[in-house]
Chains A and B, each alone.
Chain A
Amino acid sequence: MTEPNALLTLKDVTKRFPGVVAVDRVSLEVWPGEVHALLGENGAGKTTLVSLLYGLYPPDEGEIFWRGRPVRIRSPQEAIRLGIGLVPQHPLLVRAHTVLENLALGMPRGFLFPTRGLEDRIAELTRHYGFRFDPHAPVWQLSEGEKQRVEIVRALLQGARLLILDEPTSVLTPQEARELFKVIRRMRAEGEAVIFISHKLDEVLEVADRISVLRKGRLVGTIPREKADKAELARMMVGRQVSFERRKPPPRPGEVVLELAEVHASSDRGLPALRGVDLRVRAGEILGLAGVAGSGQRELVEVVTGLRRPERGEVRVLGRAPWSRRRPRIAHIPEDRRRQGVAGGLDLAENLILHDYARPPFARGPLLDRRAVYAFAREQIARYRIDPPDPRTPARLLSGGNLQKLILARELHGEPPLIVAVHPTYGLDVGATELVHELLIEQSRGGAAVLLVSEDLDEVLALADRVAVIQNGRIVGEVPAEAADRERIGLWMAGVEA
């Protein structure tokens, strides 16, 4: 028997892939006017579940009911016809076309572009939900947040009564995320149902009415928002107790390791990105750099790690320019670990020697000592518990968390006096995030200077000893972490109080 008033009901839905049960007898209900969060670590089965609902593949077992009637959803078209809309994690839009043209593409039928009439409906929807975008702007000009809103409007235009948002905040700045939550609340008020997929506890607690937690394909439980708290959710998600308190010994700042004075640099497009940055990081402390995306963080990181020459100003790491041959070791945990941090076709062991391949013990004269390379790899794999533990695994087969462990193992090797960590926990699950945080604290207390660049203000506040804010290529404010006040930092980030 299914609940007749539920919009969507899953009963014992199971999906197997070779060697793994991705979704294991999951049953849940989604009500009209409800924001239902699906919470789980990477690989818990969230995305598979969504794919089943959106008709990307059929369940092996179990039943799906829509408004109380059993349905088989064979394709996304059928899902849309029923009233199920999906907002994908990465927007699927034609970059060269305008917003209007992209939306027209998603509309049923019409041989020629049915843009007439569509514009009025878009205007109505955007007014209603408080979206702001220009329907005639080409998509490539839009920010990630704006593109996501276009996807939402597309689903609404198609008549979605149930909107699935797949990790919607992963591409958003905190401000954009807040905007999104407003829209979600508005939809709930209209009687729409929303499935909100995430692995971030805070935002789930902020926006959801009920929370279903998945772990290893199984539904651990569904609890109403009022009865949920962070520690309990984390325990359900990970299967064990998780501590959010970072026990951080007090910093013992030593000598200045990184020093920037009046640094000016341009972006790849040749536009000024840094406009006179002054910054110092001492040994034994963590400096957190907060800022809205695109405020000059990338260029700053590249200048500090020696990948970009500044146009003016001084950059010194222990007294040397970071692009000089005799620079000290600088650990760089890159922004995009898959695109920058590894050569995916090379194996684990070969990726671990990315910086040291030309030095002993890995090089003997011009020859690579493969025995030394693989011995080192086995050592690091054991130490960081990288999975799979075979040093011959191509790096691109690693999950996000294991990839980050590989990068940490490589970068933290050899006691680097300076560590530059850029969004080090982005997209990682709770367990891996914990590990990254612990390692960064350990390294700094062991005498390394750490520059932590993150758009996640919570992370910055939890880890940093001092917080600096970058805005439009300048450091606009700096405070000790214990005196940091979120509101004030927010204003700095927005450039209100320069």
Chain B
Amino acid sequence: MRRIGPFLIEKDLVAPPGRVLAVSTAALVLAFLAAGLVFWAYGVSPWAAYRTIFSETLLSPSGFAEGVRRAIPLLLAGVGLVLAFRGQFWNIGAEGQLLLGAVAAAGVALFAPLPDLLKLPVMFLAGFAAGGLWAALPALLKLRLGVNDVLTTLMLNYVAVYLVEWLIHGPWRGRTAFGFAYSDRFPEAAMLPLLPGTYVHWPTLLVALLAAVTAWFVLARTVWGYPVRVTGDNPEAARYAHMPVFWVVFGVALASGGLAGLAGVGEVAGVHGRLLGAYQISLGYGYTAIIVAWLARGNPLGAVLTALFMGLVFASGDVMKIALQMPFRVTDVFNGLILFFLISTERLLYYRVRWAPARKEH
């Protein structure tokens, strides 16, 4: 316990939900203030910038729909990362797993001789499998050889990026691409339907929402989720209780990679209609999904809200580019600031500040 002026600061063992909300909100506000400084340095009035962003995203239907579209991959990958982090698999590789999902979907769309009705379902399955595989590799390395999963998952992102680049420059380069580096367009049957008047590929949105609810249910209410929660809370206790730690870690790795893979399927089949450059497919959704998962604080349902929030941040990047003539990459600055403030305010969750003026001492 410490005293600063008339305030007493006390340590708590648990963080009450109200304080979690308050501290997270404060972190976001600080991030917005800091980003305002960036705007100001760029020569744009922060006040005007935020007013524009606000009216063009939250108040405009088409702007909001853009936010939802960006939230789809964030939610899929974010739910996966919530699972991974709960199971002590430190997956920083959702970006690569997403790209692998996109590659698998493109492979099926372009080359698999399937009846039209089966095209999309098989693309989703293949995307899940490819993303899962990309995560299973570092999971196996971690479980069998003790290799640090943060490093391997991160490094595999770059492998995935170059795999995509090689495919679109080499074997999968489109006959109709006229020297550009991308594949042919997907056949119509391999394209996802959109909500009328928007670019929201609703089947993926549905899958993402379903994934969030399922993940929550499995974690909280099933015999498969229970060992994940124990392992995530205390791996020593899981070992002591003879829990199948191998399958827990491997399972969450597969699920998180697979969900990121589904996000990749949605992007190519719902937005682009072809396989193109890695940085055009993803805009760093896999990295932003880490923020989504962190903000959700281990709750898959929380990821629905946080993914929407981060989706709107991306949508505001469009606004800044078009209305304010700022580079779209300002969103990266935004994301970085948000993560920075969230992590640095984490400790505050366990402190309580009380107003308690000092009594007169003799």
How would residues 151 to 178 of chain B score, 1 for a CB under 8 Å from any chain A CB and 0 otherwise? 0000000000000000000000000000
> Across the interface, do B242 and A357 meet the contact criterion of CB distance under 8 Å?
no
Is B14 in contact with chain A by the CB < 8 A criterion? yes
How would residues 342 to 367 of chain A score, 1 for a CB under 8 Å from any chain B CB and 0 otherwise? 11111000100111011000010011
Please name the residue on chain A nearest to B14 by beta carbon.
Answer: A394
Is A328 in contact with chain B by the CB < 8 A criterion? no
Select A18's contact among B10, B227, B239, beta carbons within 8 Å. B10
Q: Which of A332-340, A383-391, A472-480 contacts B (4 or more CB under 8 A)?
A: A332-340
Is A370 in contact with chain B by the CB < 8 A criterion? yes
> Across the interface, do A339 and B236 meet the contact criterion of CB distance under 8 Å?
yes
Instruction: Specify which chain A residues have a CB less than 8 angstroms from the CB of B230 in the assembled complex.
Output: 343, 346, 354
Is B180 in contact with chain A by the CB < 8 A criterion? no
Select B224's contact among A307, A342, A353, A366, beta carbons within 8 Å. A366
Is B234 in contact with chain A by the CB < 8 A criterion? yes
Interface residue tally for chain B (C-beta within 8 Å): 21
> Across the interface, do A346 and B221 meet the contact criterion of CB distance under 8 Å?
no
Question: When chains A and B are docked, how far (Å) is the Cα of A17 from the Cα of B10?
Answer: 10
Question: When chains A and B are docked, how far (Å) is the Cα of A396 from the Cα of B12?
Answer: 12
Instruction: Specify which chain B residues have a CB less than 8 angstroms from the CB of A344 in the assembled complex.
Output: 233-234
> Across the interface, do B240 and A368 meet the contact criterion of CB distance under 8 Å?
no
> Across the interface, do A307 and B242 meet the contact criterion of CB distance under 8 Å?
yes
Instruction: Specify which chain A residues have a CB less than 8 angstroms from the CB of B221 in the assembled complex.
Output: 367-368, 370
> Across the interface, do B233 and A368 meet the contact criterion of CB distance under 8 Å?
no
Question: When chains A and B are docked, how far (Å) is the Cα of A394 from the Cα of B14?
Answer: 9
Is B237 in contact with chain A by the CB < 8 A criterion? yes
How would residues 373 to 400 of chain A score, 1 for a CB under 8 Å from any chain B CB and 0 otherwise? 0000000000000000000001011000
Given contacts A18-B10, A366-B223, A367-B223, contact A355 B241 (CB under 8 A): yes
Question: When chains A and B are docked, how far (Å) is the Cα of A202 from the Cα of B239?
Answer: 36
> Across the interface, do B233 and A340 meet the contact criterion of CB distance under 8 Å?
no
Select A343's contact among B10, B234, B242, beta carbons within 8 Å. B234
Please name the residue on chain A nearest to B359 by beta carbon.
Answer: A60
Within B229-284, the residues touching A (CB, 8 Å) are 229-230, 233-234, 236-242
Question: When chains A and B are docked, how far (Å) is the Cα of A306 from the Cα of B233?
Answer: 22
> Across the interface, do B223 and A57 meet the contact criterion of CB distance under 8 Å?
no
> Across the interface, do B233 and A341 meet the contact criterion of CB distance under 8 Å?
no
Question: When chains A and B are docked, how far (Å) is the Cα of A353 from the Cα of B14?
Answer: 22
Instruction: Specify which chain B residues have a CB less than 8 angstroms from the CB of A358 in the assembled complex.
Output: 223
Given contacts A368-B221, A394-B14, A396-B13, contact A357 B237 (CB under 8 A): no
Tally inter-chain residue pairs, CB-CB below 8 A. Answer: 59
> Across the interface, do B14 and A368 meet the contact criterion of CB distance under 8 Å?
no
> Across the interface, do B222 and A368 meet the contact criterion of CB distance under 8 Å?
yes
Select B240's contact among A340, A350, A396, beta carbons within 8 Å. A340
Instruction: Specify which chain B residues have a CB less than 8 angstroms from the CB of A306 in the assembled complex.
Output: 242
Question: When chains A and B are docked, how far (Å) is the Cα of A341 from the Cα of B236?
Answer: 8
> Across the interface, do A354 and B223 meet the contact criterion of CB distance under 8 Å?
no
The DSSP consensus for interface residues of chain A is loop
Please name the residue on chain A nearest to B238 by beta carbon.
Answer: A343
Question: When chains A and B are docked, how far (Å) is the Cα of A394 from the Cα of B34?
Answer: 37
Instruction: Specify which chain B residues have a CB less than 8 angstroms from the CB of A339 in the assembled complex.
Output: 234, 236
Is B59 in contact with chain A by the CB < 8 A criterion? no
Instruction: Specify which chain A residues have a CB less than 8 angstroms from the CB of B233 in the assembled complex.
Output: 343-346
> Across the interface, do B223 and A343 meet the contact criterion of CB distance under 8 Å?
no
Question: When chains A and B are docked, how far (Å) is the Cα of A437 from the Cα of B239?
Answer: 27
> Across the interface, do B222 and A332 meet the contact criterion of CB distance under 8 Å?
no
Instruction: Specify which chain B residues have a CB less than 8 angstroms from the CB of A350 in the assembled complex.
Output: 226, 229
Is B145 in contact with chain A by the CB < 8 A criterion? no
Instruction: Specify which chain A residues have a CB less than 8 angstroms from the CB of B224 in the assembled complex.
Output: 366
Instruction: Specify which chain B residues have a CB less than 8 angstroms from the CB of A366 in the assembled complex.
Output: 222-224
> Across the interface, do A368 and B236 meet the contact criterion of CB distance under 8 Å?
no
Is B4 in contact with chain A by the CB < 8 A criterion? no
> Across the interface, do B236 and A340 meet the contact criterion of CB distance under 8 Å?
yes
Is B118 in contact with chain A by the CB < 8 A criterion? no
Q: Give chain A nearest CB distance to B226 CB in angstroms.
A: 5
Select A340's contact among B14, B237, B242, beta carbons within 8 Å. B237
Q: Give chain A nearest CB distance to B342 CB in angstroms.
A: 19
Question: When chains A and B are docked, how far (Å) is the Cα of A396 from the Cα of B14?
Answer: 10
> Across the interface, do B240 and A307 meet the contact criterion of CB distance under 8 Å?
yes
How would residues 243 to 254 of chain A score, 1 for a CB under 8 Å from any chain B CB and 0 otherwise? 000000000000
Question: When chains A and B are docked, how far (Å) is the Cα of A343 from the Cα of B9?
Answer: 28
> Across the interface, do A341 and B1 meet the contact criterion of CB distance under 8 Å?
no
Instruction: Specify which chain A residues have a CB less than 8 angstroms from the CB of B242 in the assembled complex.
Output: 306-307, 355
Instruction: Specify which chain A residues have a CB less than 8 angstroms from the CB of B222 in the assembled complex.
Output: 366-368
Instruction: Specify which chain B residues have a CB less than 8 angstroms from the CB of A346 in the assembled complex.
Output: 229-230, 233
Instruction: Specify which chain B residues have a CB less than 8 angstroms from the CB of A394 in the assembled complex.
Output: 14
Instruction: Specify which chain B residues have a CB less than 8 angstroms from the CB of A334 in the assembled complex.
Output: 240
Instruction: Specify which chain B residues have a CB less than 8 angstroms from the CB of A396 in the assembled complex.
Output: 13
Instruction: Specify which chain A residues have a CB less than 8 angstroms from the CB of B227 in the assembled complex.
Output: 357
Instruction: Specify which chain A residues have a CB less than 8 angstroms from the CB of B239 in the assembled complex.
Output: 307
Instruction: Specify which chain A residues have a CB less than 8 angstroms from the CB of B14 in the assembled complex.
Output: 394, 397
Instruction: Specify which chain B residues have a CB less than 8 angstroms from the CB of A367 in the assembled complex.
Output: 221-223
> Across the interface, do B234 and A342 meet the contact criterion of CB distance under 8 Å?
yes
Please name the residue on chain B nearest to A370 by beta carbon.
Answer: B221
How would residues 52 to 71 of chain A score, 1 for a CB under 8 Å from any chain B CB and 0 otherwise? 00000100000000000000
Instruction: Specify which chain B residues have a CB less than 8 angstroms from the CB of A340 in the assembled complex.
Output: 236-237, 240
Q: Give chain A nearest CB distance to B239 CB in angstroms.
A: 7
Question: When chains A and B are docked, how far (Å) is the Cα of A363 from the Cα of B236?
Answer: 23
Q: Give chain B nearest CB distance to A475 CB in angstroms.
A: 25
Question: When chains A and B are docked, how far (Å) is the Cα of A345 from the Cα of B88?
Answer: 14
Instruction: Specify which chain A residues have a CB less than 8 angstroms from the CB of B234 in the assembled complex.
Output: 339, 342-345
> Across the interface, do B236 and A357 meet the contact criterion of CB distance under 8 Å?
no
Instruction: Specify which chain A residues have a CB less than 8 angstroms from the CB of B238 in the assembled complex.
Output: 343
Select A341's contact among B223, B229, B240, beta carbons within 8 Å. B240
Within B194-234, the residues touching A (CB, 8 Å) are 221-224, 226-227, 229-230, 233-234
Known contacts A306-B242, A358-B223, A367-B223; can you find 18 more A-B pairs with CB under 8 A?
Answer: A17-B1, A57-B1, A307-B239, A334-B240, A339-B236, A340-B237, A340-B240, A341-B237, A343-B229, A344-B233, A350-B229, A354-B230, A363-B223, A366-B223, A368-B223, A370-B221, A397-B13, A397-B14
24 CB < 8 A contacts A-B: A18-B10, A57-B1, A306-B242, A332-B240, A343-B230, A343-B233, A346-B229, A346-B230, A350-B229, A353-B226, A354-B230, A354-B237, A354-B241, A355-B241, A355-B242, A357-B223, A366-B224, A367-B222, A367-B223, A368-B221, A368-B226, A396-B13, A397-B13, A397-B14
List residues of chain B with CB under 8 Å of any chain A CB: 1, 10, 13-14, 221-224, 226-227, 229-230, 233-234, 236-242
8 smallest A-B Cβ distances: which pairs?
A343-B233, A345-B233, A343-B234, A354-B241, A343-B230, A340-B240, A358-B223, A343-B237
